[in-house]
Amino acid sequence: GIQVEQSPPDLILQEGANSTLRCNFSDSVNNLQWFHQNPWGQLINLFYIPSGTKQNGRLSATTVATERYSLLYISSSQTTDSGVYFCATVGASGTYKYIFGTGTRLKVLA
């Protein structure tokens, strides 16, 4: 099955800094989602982005499907951005079996 790897595993930033999180996948995909899990455990949808670029405020994401990776950009980070960021996908074969990466744990310091 498809493998999903995220980097870096941990990231500590000073408030106001920018960061890039990466998600690599081992096969073609027709679905790629980014989630933020906040410190209370809630999973928040950030982007549904099987290809191309999307922006939402200080966050943006780019998926280059042909090269099998996706990037999540966080600009002007805030303490509320702290938590774990996951990417998840299924293979292009149409399986319903979503695979999650192991996440990037972000801590933003005031």
Partner 1 sequence: NAGVTQTPKFQVLKTGQSMTLQCAQDMNHNSMYWYRQDPGMGLRLIYYSASEGTTDKGEVPNGYNVSRLNKREFSLRLESAAPSQTSVYFCASSNTGGGYEQYFGPGTRLTVT
Question: CB-wise, 47 or 74, nearer to partner 1?
Answer: 47
Pairing mode, strands 19-25 and 4-7: antiparallel
**E strand spans, the chain:** 4-7, 10-14, 19-25, 29-37, 43-48, 52-56, 59-64, 69-74, 83-91, 99-100, 104-109
CB of residue 8 vs partner 1: minimum separation in angstroms?
15
CB of residue 88 vs partner 1: minimum separation in angstroms?
7
Positions that interact with partner 1 (CB under 8 A): 30-31, 33, 35, 41-43, 45, 48, 50, 86, 88, 90-91, 94-103
Pairing mode, strands 10-14 and 104-109: parallel
CB of residue 76 vs partner 1: minimum separation in angstroms?
26
Question: CB-wise, 36 or 77, nearer to partner 1?
Answer: 36
